[in-house]
Amino acid sequence: MEPTTAAGPDGVPGLRIDLLRRAVGLYLGRAYPSGEVPEAARRRLDWREDVPPPELLERPPFERAGKAAGPSSRVYALRLGNHRYPHMKLQIQPWPNAAGFMLSVNTHDQVAGVALSEADAQAFRDLQAENQRIKEEIEQTWDENGLPTFHRYLRDYIESRQGSGMKEG
C-alpha cells in the first residue's frame, strides 16, 4: 500500500528528535541484546539538539535511501547494524498517517549475482534469516510502543474502512 498524499514541505512532518531517539533506543535494545553497541553505531547517534529533524535527515550520518525524486518519496536511513551484521538500517519515510511518517528496518542484505560456495551460501542464508528475525522484532517493539510502523498503518486503515460503511449491498 503506497502513500496517497504528499508529506508536506519539510518531507517528514511530525518527526521529532525525541521520537527518533526513542525509536533508536528500541532498535538498539533489540539489535544488540548484550547492550554492547559498536563505536561506529554510537558515533552515528551524536546529533546536535538544535537541528530541526528535516535538516538532520538531510546530512550525515543519515543517508538518502529513496531513489525517487520529491520530498514525499524520500526515504532516510541510519545505519545502525545489529550484533552480527553492521549494515542493517533504521528507515524513516513520509507517510499519510497521523504521525506523518513511518519507521521501518532495512536488513540491507539482499545481494544479487554473487556466486557463493554451498557452505558460504548456507551461512549467508542463516545471516539473512537472523536479520529478518531482528527486523521483525524491532518493528513489533516499535508498534507495541506506539511508534508509526506499516503494520500499525495497515491496522488503522482496515479499521477505518470497516467503520466507514464498506458493507456489501
Label residue 4 by pLDDT band (50, 70, 90): very low
| pLDDT tens-digit series, residues 44-90 | 999 988 889 889 999 999 999 866 555 557 899 999 999 999 999 99
Identify the CA nearest to 8 among candidates 66, 58, 57, 72: 72
Query: If 0-12 CB within 10 Å is exposed, 13-18 middle and 19+ buried, where does residue 117 land?
Result: exposed
Establish how many alpha carbons lie within 13 A of residue 99's alpha carbon, considering only the half-sphere containing its beta carbon. Answer: 20
DSSP H or E run through 49: none
Spans of all domains in the chain:
17-163
Give residue 165's pLDDT band: very low, low, confident or very high (50, 70, 90): low
The H or E element containing residue 106 is strand 101-106
